[in-house]
Structure formats: structure tokens, C-alpha cells
A and B are shown apart, each in its own frame.
Chain A
């Protein structure tokens, strides 16, 4: 089957589901407040589209900033800790524990410190995602054969060069696995924190309209949140594809 035809069948399937949804709503089979309908979402987009678009921009900005910080600090810490056995031994249980903690309990404190604006969302996003990123990078680097480090040292590489020009690229598959997990948690963290207490963003408008039983607007917000997650994931896949080639280990054996 050609790619074009498959795409067509997918679209037809989607249209069918939407049509069935709309039909069920029109026939009074679905409660408009609980399930909404495609036409309600379209109407919501017509009336509140601009607000949601601005909110989308706010959320994307917060997520982008949180990703930038969490990726940089998480990878840097993980690669350094993974290269230093003592630091790795101390960090591993701490990072694992931090991943298991329901970090959302921190959010009220973050609001008290940083206010309802973007800062508390960005920080909560970073805190949500950084630990699996750091842990994966650390474990990844620890798993690389020390022979590479010894070889690089013999060639005159200093510690920083060994860590970031040799060990980190070799650990890339593990690092990317951590980024996948961490980035999903960042997106969740930012949207969730917007829903819990904020003045703007997709999450804020979802909460706001839910309180007013504006189901169409709620669903529009959910769709946009899905779009945010989809964009983050697509960006990651792009990076993965450009770096994932030839990171497999090879040996003479």
C-alpha cells in the first residue's frame, strides 16, 4: 500500500469518528457538558481562538525554557557524575528517590516563592523532568567501557574533553532515552502547574472553562495541549535521528 493511500484511510477513519461523535451528540445520546462535540469545539475556536493562541504561545515558551534548562543541567550533571565513580555512587539513590517523589506537592511552595507567573511554571517543569535526564545520562556514561577514556587520555585529552567529546556521545542512546522521559514530564509539569495556579497558558484556560462548564473550550484546550506534547516529541525525534547513527559499540573481538 502506498503512503498516500494509507494517509487517506487514516483521515477517513478520523472523519468517521468525528462524524459519529457529532451524530451521537445531535441525537442526544451524549451529554454536551461531559462529552462536548466537534461542532462545540469549532464554535469555541471561533469565539476564544485568539485567547487560546496567545495562551499556546505562553505555554510553548515556558516549556521551551524548561527544556533548555533541564536538558543542559541534567545532561551536564549526569555526564560528570557518571565519569566520577564516587559522585555516581552517592547520586544514584538520590536521583532514583527524587524521581519517585510526587513533586507536585512542591508546587504550592514554588508559587509562594516565585508567584503565579511563568517563573513558577518553568521551575516546576525543570524539577519535573531533570532527574530522569540526569540519571539516564549518568548510567549511560557509567556503562561505557573505560578503554575509551584511557585511549583518549593517552591521546592527550583532558578531563572535560574525555567527558564531553568521548563519553557523552558514546552514551547518547541512553541520554536520549532520558530526554524522552524527561521531556514528557516537563510538558506534563508545565501544563499541570498552569492548571493548579496561574494567570495564563493552555492549562489555565482549561481549568477556567471547566469551572464554567464551557465544554467546547475545555476540549479545545486539551487539543492544544496534545499539540504541545506532539511538537515536543517531534523535535526530539528529529534530534534523535540526526545523532543516533553509528553510536553502536564496536570491538576487535
Chain B
């Protein structure tokens, strides 16, 4: 593949506090993501993977280093280019599912008719068209995350940043959501950066897995996943998958001791 580089991270450090209390969350993080690539960031808690994602999203500034998306340095959120998802959907409870999907457009004062026109196909894409008028407290956890995916996509971003979006779901739902995400990704051709602490999930979804270590948070290994697409559940039991999983497991375990 010779797709061009879409995300460039060079020498990023992140330090919280100052003086004796200073805490280094990230040190010397450099990597790049090609257009259309699906990468996962995997590592133990405290490795700064969520911080890194928030830096990419422009929600938190890096202390040093350079972050650029599509050639432009990241200085703040740019929702037209980057959609962000978290572990919680953070749906607004007084708005229906479709109104939540429309919300990013409403913030930009897009007219009501156009909002509806853009939001409905996305609810269909995530399989929730018949739940458009339901309120968040009437939806299951998986459905709420589907609404959040639709809300991410409504501004047609080129990059999806996902911070453990399925971590709070039960395992079956998580696997199903992973598959749906892959289908959407294959259809839309976007670029995904997906943070997780689940090794299976990290391998199953990704073209490339970045393994992170703690104290200070940094990238310790870049592993290409040689599995063909589309991915199927059976692959998880394959020998190649098991070897990859073991390798990542050892990398993380070694760093921790």
C-alpha cells in the first residue's frame, strides 16, 4: 500500500504538573497513520493511551512535539475532520436518538430539515432507524454506543478516534459492535485510531497494533497484523492470532516488571 500519511505524531511528550510533582504521562511518542488505516493502541492502564488520543483529538495540548492531521497541526478540536468516541456515549438525555445524532450539526446551526436528512441514513447504518424517536434511557448500552458512532459520522470526518468505546459492554455485544464497526469502516473508507486494553480486540480490528508501555507512557512496539480482511470470528482461534496475542502479552508483561 502506498496510501499517504494522514496522521503524523513526532516526539510528543506530555507532562502534568511541574517541579517535584511533575508526572510524565507520555514520552517521545512518534508514529504515523496512513489514510484508510485501522490502528489500535493497546497497553496497560496508565500507559497514557487515552491521553494520546485526547492529544490527537485536540482536547489536550501536547507538552512538546508535533501532531498533524492531514498536514495541518492540531491546535484544538476539528470536528469536520475528526470524530471522537469515548467509553460512555454521553448522549444528551433530553434529546431523542436522532436529535443526539443531529446535535453536532445543530451546534453549527445547520437547518433542521438538512440535519434530519443527514442523520437518518446514519441511524440506518448503525441499525437504529426504528429507534430514532427513543430517548437514551430507553436504549441499551450497545444501542447508545451505536448512536454515538452515528453522531461521530454525521460530520463526515476522515478520522475516527475511539477511546475504549466498547469497554463497558458485555463480551458478546462488544464482539458484535467490533464487527459492525469494521463493516462501517470498510464501507466508508475512513481512518480509525482505536484505544483498548483488550488484546483480542486490538488484534482483531487492526491493520497495525501499537503496543504501549507505562512509566513513562510510550510506544514500545509496532506490529502489523497479517490477517486478511474481512475478519471473521474464527480467526481469533487461529494459530497466527494466538502467536500475535502471546507476543503482545509478553511485551506488556516484560515492561511492567
Contact = CB atoms under 8 A, between A and B. Distances in A.
Interface of A: 147-148, 150-157, 161, 165-166, 169-170, 245-253
Contacts of B77: 153-156
24 contacts: A150-B86, A151-B84, A153-B77, A154-B77, A154-B79, A154-B84, A155-B107, A155-B151, A156-B78, A156-B80, A156-B108, A161-B107, A166-B92, A170-B93, A245-B94, A246-B135, A248-B137, A250-B91, A250-B93, A250-B137, A250-B144, A252-B89, A252-B141, A252-B145
Contact of B94 (A152, A247, A252): A247
Nearest to A172: B94
Nearest to B135: A246
A150 B169 CA distance: 21
In order of increasing CB-CB distance, the 10 nearest A-B pairs are A156-B79, A154-B84, A151-B90, A252-B168, A155-B104, A252-B141, A246-B94, A246-B93, A250-B137, A157-B107
A250 B86 contact: no
A70 B97 CA distance: 34
Contact of A249 (B86, B93, B169): B93
B35 interface: no
Interface residues of B, number: 33
B141 to A, nearest CB: 4
A153 B89 CA distance: 14
A246 B137 CA distance: 8
A147 B107 contact: no
Interface string B234-256: 00000000000000000000000
B84 to A, nearest CB: 4
Contacts of A155: 77, 79, 84, 103-104, 107, 151, 155
Given A246-B93, A246-B135, A252 B104 contact: no
B57 A154 contact: yes
Contact of B107 (A165, A245, A249): A165
A169 B91 CA distance: 13
Interface string B132-165: 0001110001001100000100010000000000
A52 B141 CA distance: 59
Given A161-B107, A248-B137, A250-B144, A154 B59 contact: yes
A56 B69 CA distance: 65
Interface string B114-143: 000000000000000000000111000100
B180 interface: no
A154 B76 CA distance: 9
B30 interface: no
Nearest to B165: A252
